[in-house]
Amino acid sequence: MKSETKNAFIFAIILTFLTLLLVSFPILNYLSVSLRLSQVNQETQLRSYAKEIEATIQGILPLQKTFLFPRSILFKSTLLDANNRIVFSLIEEPIPSFSDEFVTNESSLFYKHPLASNALHVKYLIVQKEISHSQVIFDILVIIGVVLMGMLLFSYLLLKLLLKPYIETSTRMNLFFTDVMHELKTPLGIMQLNIEGLVQKYKDKRLGRTLAALSTLATLYDDLEYLIKNKTITYTTELLNFSTFLEDRIAYFEALSASKEITICSHIESQLYVRINRIELQRIIDNNITNAIKYSPTQTIIEVTLNADNDRLCFKVKDQGVGIKEVEKIFERHYRGDIYKGGFGIGLSIVKSICDKYGVVIEVQSEEKKGSEFSYWFRKEEKEEKISS
């Protein structure tokens, strides 16, 4: 459920981004027009303020001894004589040279307004205003924000609506598989225990083959259970004794190997440790041993070794089986080297995903009709010694 919601949100972001690209051209045109209109509006404000000052200057009486020059928060002014010399100035920055009535520098807009004859004997009035496009930028940001938020919400709701049947079906299927796997585990375990008891009591080959088939079924069950639970639960790691764990798994497959008259020869160094989840380590071991048994002819030998090499451990399974035609494809989902051997082709893909998770290096050597050798290089861990007080 969480993954589907996450995917819907990702698709919504992508669709929103593409929409933004589509509307970027008209938005840029709007921005260009808005900036020009803002410029024209500010020029109009400068003209209007210049006329107000001119009217104030023209209103000076002939016998008036003092004149209070108008001041403004937004505008600053300078008076020039006929030779463009400054008579009076409130503008702090240098006055630019004028080739037109309006001049713009990095931060300000200047307007040069000619004055009629007046009591101050000044010829020109220069008005300055700091350029401000904050309103235009604010409007553009509001437009972009509304477009983005609206498109994001619309696409998210649309995708959620389209994905709803899939999510419901997926949820029902997950619940169904979980229930089925749970119901299968108990009878499968009971059958194994009972047949193991019968094999020990009667030593019947048919019972041995039945037990071997159940072992294969149990391995397939474990693979399917891992695939189902892998996306919903977190597999915690622990410090495992790889040596004893491997010995236990080899003993588990004795019935399966005996049913095909295959001998498993093991060479396992003692007290070798690795930090991994035991279920995931079991998937690596079980899939390699079952494949070796499945693809090996009768009366052959399978070699299982575990040894240390400096800071690494090497787990190796070597068989005398049919070999592999396409080594580079064996870890792909649903690939099977021999379609007549059955199975779903998911075992080694699970092994590959687990190895990638823990940084386990895989090496495969194979020759047709002579056998295959799978080597897995784990990081070696030291056993934590308890210090007694």
The residue count of the chain comes to: 389
d(CA 58, CA 213): 113
Domains of the chain: 2-135 (no CATH), 204-379 (3.30.565.10)
DSSP 295: T
**pLDDT tens digits, 168-215:** 776 777 666 666 665 666 677 677 677 777 777 777 777 777 877 777
Mean pLDDT of the chain: 81
Q: How confident is the model at residue 387 (pLDDT cuts 50, 70, 90)?
A: very low
HSE toward the beta carbon, residue 40, CA cutoff 13 A: 6
Question: 213: closest CA among 294, 148, 315, 322?
Answer: 294
Residues 6+ apart with CB under 8 A from 330: 324, 337, 348, 364
Strands, E, within 69-169: which ranges?
Answer: 75-80, 86-89, 102-104, 108-114, 124-130
Question: 318: closest CA among 282, 254, 266?
Answer: 266
| Helices 278-294 + 242-252 axis angle, to 10 | 40
**pLDDT tens digits, 260-285:** 889 999 999 999 999 999 989 988 99
Answer with the residue of higher pLDDT: 185 or 131: 131
d(CA 80, CA 122): 6
Provide the pLDDT for residue 77. Answer: 92
Q: How confident is the model at residue 141 (pLDDT cuts 50, 70, 90)?
A: confident
Provide the pLDDT for residue 363. Answer: 93
pTM above 0.75, yes or no: no
Residue type, 369: K
Q: How confident is the model at residue 78 (pLDDT cuts 50, 70, 90)?
A: very high
Q: How confident is the model at residue 8 (pLDDT cuts 50, 70, 90)?
A: low
Q: What is the mean pLDDT of residues 347-363?
A: 90
Residue 212 tokens, joined: 């071997």
Query: Given strand 75-80, what is the order of strands in its sheet?
Result: 86-89, 75-80, 124-130, 108-114, 102-104
**pLDDT tens digits, 315-342:** 999 999 888 887 888 887 655 554 334 4
d(CA 131, CA 56): 25
Residue 70 confidence (pLDDT) above 70 = yes
Provide the pLDDT for residue 274. Answer: 94
Provide the pLDDT for residue 339. Answer: 39
Question: Ranked by mean pLDDT, which of 20-34, 103-117, 177-191 comes out on top?
Answer: 103-117
With a pLDDT cut of 90, the percent of the chain lying above it is 24
With a pLDDT cut of 70, the percent of the chain lying above it is 85
Residue type, 377: W
Provide the pLDDT for residue 279. Answer: 87
In the three-class reduction of DSSP (H, G, I as helix; E, B as strand; rest coil), residue 301 is classed as: strand
Q: How confident is the model at residue 104 (pLDDT cuts 50, 70, 90)?
A: confident
Which stretch of 36-50, 142-156, 284-298, 353-367 has the lowest confidence by average pLDDT?
A: 142-156
Q: Are 212 and 255 in contact (CB under 8 A)?
A: yes
Question: 41: closest CA among 100, 91, 109?
Answer: 109
Burial of 172 (0-12, 13-18, 19+ CB in 10 A): exposed
d(CA 60, CA 67): 7
Q: Are 291 and 347 in contact (CB under 8 A)?
A: yes
Q: What is the mean pLDDT of residues 85-91?
A: 90
d(CA 80, CA 86): 5
Q: What is the mean pLDDT of residues 226-242?
A: 79
Strands, E, within the chain: which ranges?
Answer: 75-80, 86-89, 102-104, 108-114, 124-130, 238-241, 263-268, 273-276, 301-309, 312-318, 361-367, 371-379
Q: What is the mean pLDDT of residues 11-32?
A: 75
Provide the pLDDT for residue 184. Answer: 67
Q: Are 280 and 222 in contact (CB under 8 A)?
A: no
d(CA 139, CA 145): 10
Residue 357 tokens, joined: 């998770």
Provide the pLDDT for residue 306. Answer: 95
Question: Ranked by mean pLDDT, which of 23-32, 60-69, 119-128 comes out on top?
Answer: 119-128
Residue 239 confidence (pLDDT) above 90 = yes
Provide the pLDDT for residue 179. Answer: 63
Residue 374 confidence (pLDDT) above 90 = yes
**What does the radius of gyration of the chain's CA atoms come to, in whole angstroms?**
42
d(CA 302, CA 248): 16
In the three-class reduction of DSSP (H, G, I as helix; E, B as strand; rest coil), residue 297 is classed as: coil
